[in-house]
């Protein structure tokens, strides 16, 4: 980078960081959540209690100490009101509100926080503390064991840290490691615990007191983090949880090399700044799917100098990684994306300050979305499967739909079309007010929200007697019915191909083409070489293990024949972060998802994501597009999905070069097109790429002139029917 540009960036950082953080993070800014050394991770009864203090541990003089004692950590302490959300790990979630004017004192909740479990076991408890005044938050997850189960239940713990001085002991200058997976092997069964924000972990497991067990840090995690540990295997003597003596301890002093401890985390929000004040006010809409380029001048240990992340449905992004050896980086919204959506951003370079914690103070990217009633709404829909698809069975499908904003939606129409011969179980349709016409279910709905997401689990009866390998397509559409303009129609249509008699793999990947291909009964792998198609990919995953999965991520290497700049995330079953790793590799991250295992809760053990991406313009005939995903559950070896396959082909009835009967010109065109043919009369229909009819008319004396000014820019198909011909042409509206 040239020296004068570097000085300008540093100057911008100084100006932006001063004004930005004073404006955005006023008051007590939350940065972390810890448990005290006297907190327990085991209760012999079924009820546990929880307490909170700010900055330092509170005194419990005259009161019974809570089982879990939390300390809220932050900067610039001042009196504040806050909210607490607790996922107790057994399917229950509670929300509590409180406030305090002093640090180091027990914060009063009315009623006090407690929870009763109906069964024994180890539960992952996720705690989120949120300060609504400045939108900062802190999160921590702990494993808590309910029920001592006599002497057969063992307890152990320890600390995982970067041993910067190499002396094997934790002391000043050493760095605790967060979320390090530690395994205990007892009687041939592996039990896993994760370190908290201070590097401490606890594990409860079944064993025999006085007998040995093996403890180690997960080797895959060490390798992925660039760490070494020698020796990794440690032997402990089992200690029963209810014996009244200290549990077994196993500490791990790790050589972190050039990556000393967990690297900084950086976060931010992208939103429509309707009043132009640079602050994300309560009535302003978040922007999902916004690509944010994070970059620095130097990285830690040879890590990336830049990475692109995408905002979720709340407009939020977070990235933790070795991107800078300082505590700040720069964030930039992709200009091509801004222009495509008609947005502007006066200050497109924002500085982000990172901390060594998964709860950094967020930066705010204030986007000018056009303002007022002119805001568009980005409607979307998808169809995703639930189980296998067989003859003479009941098939389950999720119809998913919503809007990413930024404008309020108002009235809209939603449809789901299913194959002939298949019948819908109308009693399974949860969304009321529908009409079934032929093989299409139609809803006329209304939403005053700018951003929302909905789903409906609908069942269908698949009849007997269908040949194995028969292709069945399920398609969805969503369109605005009022005055609102749709920001993009590329994600309005969902398409799902089901193969009759297909065995069910809970971890797989499917590809969908524009709906017009299905309406023309074109083989499922073929796409038209004369068109630049948008392909929709659905990745499904299921935790078929015997314990919840804390973290899941998916690596997806995109084919070189796909245009990375057109990637659009449509929908995900759980909160997720997308990171562009470069070289066409996308990483879909589900941190702290705690996905249930199929044994204990089969319906909650599933997850999925859907994205759309266009192929490169001008892909030649014979060019193929293949795609495979690698799904990682915690730090286990990846599950490799099937490989999707598409090939660009000269399609009879779509490719213009094979047409002799009719010609279309000019192409591309902005205002008018003409169709000529060697027949006297013919009928035509203009369709969008979802198969929706937009314009129809007649050609006389071998000619039709058609005005297309009202069409939005994009690809269109023209179906032409004459006495002896039925052909399809394509054109581009500019």
Q: pLDDT tens-digit profile of 402-429?
A: 887 777 888 999 999 998 889 999 889 9
| Residue 60 Cα to chain centre, angstroms | 41
pLDDT of residue 213: 93
Residues 316-334 have a mean pLDDT of 80
Q: Which are the contacts of 367, defined by CB distance < 8 A and separation ≥ 6?
A: 270, 271, 272, 273, 287, 290, 333, 338, 343, 344, 345
Query: Which residue is it, tokens 């029963």?
Result: 240
Nearest to 497 by CA among 467, 527, 536, 466: 536
| Topology of the domain covering 148-262 | Immunoglobulin-like (2.60.40)
Residues shown for the chain: 734
Tens of pLDDT, residues 104-140 = 889 988 888 999 887 777 788 888 888 888 778 888 8
Confidence of residue 340 (pLDDT cuts 50, 70, 90): low
What is the DSSP code string of 33-60? Answer: EEE-TT--SEESSSEEEEEEEESSPPP-
pTM: 0.58
Q: The tokens of 599 are what?
A: 């044994």
Predicted pLDDT of residue 655: 39
Closest CA to 490 of 465, 515, 511: 515
| CATH class name, domain 26-142 | mainly beta
Residue 254 has a pLDDT of 92
Which pLDDT score is estimated for 260? 59
pLDDT tens-digit series, residues 63-94: 677 889 999 988 889 888 888 988 888 878 88
């490691």: which residue's tokens? 177
235 near 259, Cβ under 8 Å? no
Query: Are the C-beta atoms of 45 and 241 separated by less than 8 Å?
Result: no
Residue 716 scores a pLDDT above 70? yes
CB atoms within 10 A of CB 557: 15
CATH class for domain 266-373?
mainly beta
The CA radius of gyration of the chain, in Å to the nearest whole number, is 29
Is the pLDDT at 689 greater than 80? The verdict is no
Q: CB count, 10 Å around CB of 458? A: 23
For range 3-19, the mean pLDDT: 31
639-640/624-633 β-pairing: antiparallel
Q: Which residue has the higher pLDDT, 138 or 441?
A: 441
Domain with CATH 2.60.40.10 in the chain: 148-262, 266-373
Which overall architecture, per CATH, does domain 401-649 show? Sandwich (2.60)
Where along the chain do the CATH 2.60.40.740 domains lie? 401-649
Confidence of residue 252 (pLDDT cuts 50, 70, 90): very high
With beta carbons less than 8 A apart as the criterion, state whether 571 and 529 touch. no
**Rounded Cα distance, 555 and 630, in Å:** 5
Rounded average pLDDT over 141-167: 79
Q: Are 289 and 367 in contact (CB under 8 A)?
A: no
- Where is 340: in which H helix or E strand? helix 335-340
Residue with tokens 């979307």, as numbered in its chain: 380
pLDDT of residue 505: 66
Most confident of the ranges 149-153, 329-333, 446-450, 545-549 = 329-333
User: What pLDDT does 656 receive?
Assistant: 35
pLDDT at residue 650 tops 50? yes
pLDDT at 244: 67
Instruction: Note the Cα 311 to chain centre separation in Å.
Output: 9
pLDDT tens readout for residues 158-193: 889 988 888 998 888 788 887 788 889 988 888 887
Which carries the bigger pLDDT value, residue 284 or residue 152?
284
The segment with the largest mean pLDDT, out of 251-260, 435-444, 521-530, 657-666, is: 435-444
- CA distances from residue 278 to 272, 326, 348, 404, 405 in whole angstroms, order as listed: 10, 26, 12, 21, 19
Q: What is the arithmetic mean of pLDDT over 517-522? A: 72
What is each CA distance from 646 to 5, 194, 529, in whole angstroms? 44, 42, 11
Q: Residues near 280 by Cβ (< 8 Å), separated by ≥ 6?
A: 135, 269, 271, 273, 286, 364, 366
State the pLDDT confidence band at 322, using cuts at 50, 70 and 90: low
Task: Give per-residue pLDDT as tens, 580-634.
Answer: 777 788 888 887 788 888 888 887 888 888 888 888 888 888 899 998 899 988 7
Confidence at residue 20, expressed as pLDDT on a 0 to 100 scale: 32
Query: From the DSSP assignment, how many helices (H) and strands (E) are in the chain?
Result: 4, 52
pLDDT of residue 568: 79
pLDDT at position 387 is 62
pLDDT band at 95 (very low <50, low <70, confident <90, very high): confident
- Report the Cα 368 to chain-centroid distance in Å: 25
**What's 391's DSSP letter?**
T
User: What are the start and end residues of each CATH 2.60.40.3080 domain in the chain?
Assistant: 656-733
- What is the pLDDT confidence band of residue 302, given thresholds at 50, 70 and 90? very low
Full DSSP string of 286-322: B-SS-EEEEE-S--STT--SEEEEE--TTSEEEEESS
Q: State which H helix or E strand residue 712 sits in.
A: none
Res 18 pLDDT > 50: no
**Dist CA 201 CA 216 (whole Å):** 12
pLDDT tens track for 32-47: 888 887 777 777 777 8
pLDDT-based confidence at residue 12 (cuts at 50, 70, 90): very low
Cis status, amide bond into 111, omega within 30 of 0: yes
Q: Where are the alpha helices (DSSP H) in 370-452?
A: none
The mean pLDDT value of the chain amounts to 80
How is 356-381 classified by DSSP, letter by letter?
SSS-PPPEEEEEB---GGG--EEEEE
Q: Give the domain 656-733 fold.
A: Immunoglobulin-like (2.60.40)
Residue 639's SS3 state is strand
Stronger pLDDT, 665 or 435, i.e. the higher one:
435
Q: Return the closest-CA partner of residue 356 out of 31, 709, 71, 734.
A: 31
* pLDDT confidence band for 148 (50 / 70 / 90): low
Q: How far apart are CA 625 and CA 640, in angstroms?
A: 18
Return the closest-CA partner of residue 210 out of 260, 294, 154.
Answer: 154
User: When comparing pLDDT for 412 and 153, which is higher?
Assistant: 412
- pLDDT over 70 percentage in the chain: 85
């Amino acid at each position: 980078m040239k020296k004068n540009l570097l000085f300008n960036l540093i100057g911008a950082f100084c100006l932006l960081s001063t004004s930005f953080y004073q404006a955005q993070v006023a008051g007590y800014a939350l940065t972390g959540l810890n448990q005290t050394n006297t907190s327990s991770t085991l209760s012999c009864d079924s009820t546990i209690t929880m307490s909170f203090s700010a900055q330092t541990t509170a005194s419990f003089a005259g009161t019974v100490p809570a089982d879990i004692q939390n300390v809220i950590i932050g900067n610039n302490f001042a009196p504040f009101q806050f909210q607490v959300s607790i996922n107790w790990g057994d399917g229950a979630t509670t929300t509590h509100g409180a406030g305090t004017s002093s640090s180091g004192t027990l914060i009063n909740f009315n009623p006090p926080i407690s929870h009763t479990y109906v069964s024994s076991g180890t539960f992952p408890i996720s705690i989120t503390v949120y300060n609504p005044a400045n939108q900062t938050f802190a999160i921590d997850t702990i494993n808590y064991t309910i029920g001592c189960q006599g002497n057969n239940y063992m307890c152990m713990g320890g600390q995982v840290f970067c041993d910067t001085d190499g002396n094997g002991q934790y002391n000043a200058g050493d760095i605790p490691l967060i979320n390090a997976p530690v395994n205990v092997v007892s009687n041939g069964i592996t039990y896993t615990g994760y370190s908290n924000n201070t590097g401490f972990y606890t594990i409860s497991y079944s064993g025999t007191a006085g007998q040995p067990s093996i403890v180690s840090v997960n080797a895959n995690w060490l390798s992925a983090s660039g760490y070494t540990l020698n020796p990794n295997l440690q032997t402990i003597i089992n200690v029963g949880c209810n014996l009244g003596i200290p549990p077994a301890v196993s500490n791990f002093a790790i050589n972190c090399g050039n990556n000393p401890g967990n690297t900084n985390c950086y976060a931010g929000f992208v939103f429509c700044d309707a009043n132009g004040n640079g602050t994300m006010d309560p009535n302003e809409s978040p922007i999902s799917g916004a690509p944010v380029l994070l970059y620095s001048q130097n990285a830690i240990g040879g890590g990336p100098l830049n990475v692109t992340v995408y905002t979720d449905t709340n407009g939020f992004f977070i990235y933790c990684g070795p991107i800078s050896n300082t505590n700040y980086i720069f964030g930039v919204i992709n200009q091509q994306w801004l222009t495509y959506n008609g947005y502007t951003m006066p200050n497109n370079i924002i500085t982000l300050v990172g901390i060594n914690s998964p709860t950094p103070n967020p930066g705010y990217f204030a986007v000018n979305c056009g303002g007022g009633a002119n805001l568009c709404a980005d409607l979307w829909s998808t169809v995703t499967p639930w189980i296998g698809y067989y003859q003479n069975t009941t098939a389950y499908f999720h119809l998913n739909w919503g809007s990413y904003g930024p404008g309020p939606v108002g009235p809209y129409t939603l449809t789901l079309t299913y194959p002939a011969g298949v019948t819908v179980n109308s009693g399974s349709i949860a969304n009321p007010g529908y009409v079934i016409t032929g093989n299409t279910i139609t809803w006329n709905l209304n939403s005053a929200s700018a951003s929302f997401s909905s789903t409906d689990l609908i069942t269908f009866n698949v009849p007997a007697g269908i040949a194995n390998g028969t292709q069945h397509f399920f398609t969805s559409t969503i369109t605005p019915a009022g005055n609102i303009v749709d920001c993009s129609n590329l994600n309005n249509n969902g398409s799902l191909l089901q193969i009759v008699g297909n065995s069910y793999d809970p971890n797989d990947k499917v590809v969908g083409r524009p709906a017009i291909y299905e309406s023309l009964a074109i083989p499922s792998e073929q796409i038209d070489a004369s068109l630049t198609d948008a392909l929709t990919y659905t990745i499904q995953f299921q935790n078929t293990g015997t314990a919840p999965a804390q973290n899941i991520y998916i690596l997806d290497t995109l084919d070189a024949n796909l245009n990375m700049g057109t990637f659009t995330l449509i929908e995900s079953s759980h909160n997720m972060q997308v990171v562009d790793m470069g070289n066409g590799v996308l990483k879909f991250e589900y941190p702290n998802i705690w996905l249930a295992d199929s044994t204990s809760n089969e319906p909650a053990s599933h997850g999925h994501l859907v994205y759309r991406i266009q192929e490169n313009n001008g892909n030649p005939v014979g060019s193929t597009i293949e795609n495979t995903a690698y799904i990682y559950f915690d730090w286990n070896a990846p599950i490799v999905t099937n490989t999707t396959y598409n090939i660009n082909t000269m399609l009879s009835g779509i490719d213009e070069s094979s047409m002799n009967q009719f010609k279309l010109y000019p192409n591309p065109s902005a205002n008018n097109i003409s169709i000529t043919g060697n027949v006297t009369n013919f009928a035509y229909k203009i369709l969008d790429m979802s198969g929706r009819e937009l314009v129809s008319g007649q050609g006389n004396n071998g000619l039709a002139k058609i005005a297309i000014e009202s069409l939005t820019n994009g690809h269109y198909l023209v179906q032409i029917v004459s006495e002896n011909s039925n052909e399809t042409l394509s054109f581009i509206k500019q």
